[in-house]
């Protein structure tokens, strides 16, 4: 299940959030080599992990197997503040647009081959399930260029916000992706399950 953690309930997820910060460090520092994020305590935490962030935790049998973060674009966020060179023009800012980032899946839940990872797919579905009832219908994300086609195949209306750039040895593109009920139906069809991925609040 995907657990939504924000300022109202983060105190209930102290242990899981510690696991999430360490997973982020494992993925982005150890695996991807993003040395600027390295910390002696092995926790990847940045200036955007504040009371405005929404964390999506993929938990299976009390084990954290995946994570991602949503940030409102009505405040400074990663694209607007840290990576503006990925965007041709001003970074988008609106209540219905959130930034989706820090997407990671633990080694224990990874699969080989070209099939979309089930944990990553559940996290993606969680964004749509979380967003639609809140009037959120778009996200911004900075990802490898291969993600653009994948998003379109999942029925997101995705388009690049600028040209790709090589960051830490990987070609990255900023994308804006719109979604609606059709996107949710496609995500559930690809998952092979109609039941919601979000845990009950």
Between 124 and 29, whose confidence is greater?
124
For residue 168, pLDDT beyond 90: no
pLDDT in tens, 71-101: 999 999 999 999 999 999 999 999 999 999 9
- What tokens were used for 61? 């049998």
For residue 39, pLDDT beyond 90: no
The pLDDT score that the predictor gives to residue 157 is 97
For residue 166, pLDDT beyond 90: yes
The pLDDT score that the predictor gives to residue 70 is 98
Buried b (16+ CB within 10 A) or exposed e, 73-106: beebbbbbeebeebbeeebbeeeebbbbbbbbbb
The pLDDT score that the predictor gives to residue 48 is 94
For residue 67, pLDDT beyond 80: yes
Total-model pTM:
0.92
- What tokens were used for 63? 């084990």
pLDDT in tens, 100-149: 999 998 877 666 555 678 999 999 999 999 999 999 999 999 999 999 99
Among 41-45, 110-114, 191-195, the range scoring the smallest mean pLDDT is 110-114
Q: How many CB atoms lie within 10 A of CB 168?
A: 12
Query: How far does Cα 164 stand from its chain's mean position?
Result: 19
- For 21, which DSSP code? H
The pLDDT score that the predictor gives to residue 174 is 97
Contact 158, 176 (CB under 8 A): yes
The pLDDT score that the predictor gives to residue 94 is 98
Q: What is the dihedral of CA 25, 1, 137, 201, to 10 degrees?
A: -110
């Amino acid at each position: 299940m995907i657990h939504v953690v924000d300022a109202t309930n983060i105190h209930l997820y102290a242990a899981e959030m510690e696991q999430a910060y360490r997973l982020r460090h494992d993925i982005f520092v150890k695996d991807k080599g993003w040395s600027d994020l390295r910390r002696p305590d092995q926790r990847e935490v940045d200036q955007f992990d504040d009371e405005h962030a929404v964390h999506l935790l993929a938990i299976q049998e009390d084990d954290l197997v995946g994570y991602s973060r949503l940030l409102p674009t009505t405040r400074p966020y990663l694209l607007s503040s840290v990576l503006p060179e990925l965007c041709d023009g001003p970074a988008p800012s609106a209540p219905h647009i959130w930034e989706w980032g820090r997407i990671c899946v633990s080694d224990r839940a990874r699969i080989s081959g070209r099939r979309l990872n089930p944990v990553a797919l559940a996290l993606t579905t969680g964004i749509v399930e979380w967003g639609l009832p809140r009037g959120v219908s778009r996200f911004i994300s900075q990802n490898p260029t291969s993600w653009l086609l994948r998003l379109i195949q999942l029925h997101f209306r995705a388009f690049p916000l600028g040209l790709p750039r090589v960051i830490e040895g990987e070609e990255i593109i900023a994308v804006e992706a719109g979604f609606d009920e059709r996107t949710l139906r496609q995500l559930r069809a690809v998952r092979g399950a109609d039941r919601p991925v979000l845990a009950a609040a």
